[in-house]
Copies of this chain bind each other. A is one copy, B any other.
């Protein structure tokens, strides 16, 4: 590996500068991505095309000079593989025709599937990207956390309150655990296959972690994240539980190498929770990139100077906003790259 900064930081090995990559870097802000995207019918046509996935995965490495590639895909490939087809509606987001609301609905899905067959297009994309990268930077694979996938399977779309999903936790916890358990099994197999096909690190996105209380997160999320972390031991694994500020002390106990922090989580108090056992990833507010070049440098340096450990991977605290100016992103990345660690 020519640039193994990310892996070294993930393992707590010595580094001379912090590695940096950007959530949703493979897409959203690059005109080169938009050109590829507009060459196909829709978002899913892109996700299912390994050659194009490889192409857009490499774009930010070439153009932005980030320290890692993250495979272009979507967390919703897992519910689809389990039996729930989805559409990605422009400007609106995902939409599932069928949803899981009752125990009977479980017949719509299966956790006992041939993941390597159903998700072969992602695995091919990973193999191809790994080969094309030729060791320039590490390749990150990913999946949604069981709770987040559960939410999509139950709501069938995004939601402000996720009240249908949370309703099940109170009304039918057995159904909830059954579904979460099936998603977990598929996710573990999927992440292992990603590793087998070339992922150097995997990240689990718990995008809807923030809508649960700590007690519910302990009951319905942490056991499944624990199972996933304990199953992925050969490569580093990142858990990013957005909004789960109340559960940080629980997340700190997971058997993962990296904890992702959103922009509202405090780096230094989280450092106290994990000591030097984990690397922290994040967490610049993506809104900072709307500022002037000078302000972006200032805020980025402020964050970097606040680090009291070398165990950091720099990223935004959430996905980059689509209308972010490309030059501002470069400023952020270059500021991190020019910051020497004492």
Whether, in the assembled complex, A33 has its beta carbon less than 8 Å from a beta carbon of chain B, the answer is no
A166 touches B246 (CB 8 A): no
- A31 nearest CB across to chain B (Å): 21
CB-defined interface of A251-278 with B at 8 Å, one 1/0 digit per residue? 0000000000001111000000000000
A212 touches B264 (CB 8 A): yes
* Cross-chain contact of A287 among B167, B214, B287, B318 (Cβ < 8 A): B167
Query: Given A171-B292, A245-B245, A285-B213, is A161 in contact with B264 using a C-beta cutoff of 8 Å?
Result: no
Whether, in the assembled complex, A235 has its beta carbon less than 8 Å from a beta carbon of chain B, the answer is no
- A224 nearest CB across to chain B (Å): 19
B299 touches A170 (CB 8 A): yes
B246 touches A290 (CB 8 A): no
Whether, in the assembled complex, A226 has its beta carbon less than 8 Å from a beta carbon of chain B, the answer is no
A295 to chain B: which residues have CB within 8 Å? Answer: 170-171
A290 touches B321 (CB 8 A): no
A266 touches B214 (CB 8 A): yes
B286 touches A163 (CB 8 A): yes
- Closest residue to A287 on the B side, CB-wise? B166
Q: With the chains together, A286 CA to B265 CA distance in Å?
A: 25
B290 touches A266 (CB 8 A): no
- Closest residue to A165 on the B side, CB-wise? B287
Whether, in the assembled complex, A115 has its beta carbon less than 8 Å from a beta carbon of chain B, the answer is no
A285 to chain B: which residues have CB within 8 Å? Answer: 166, 170, 213
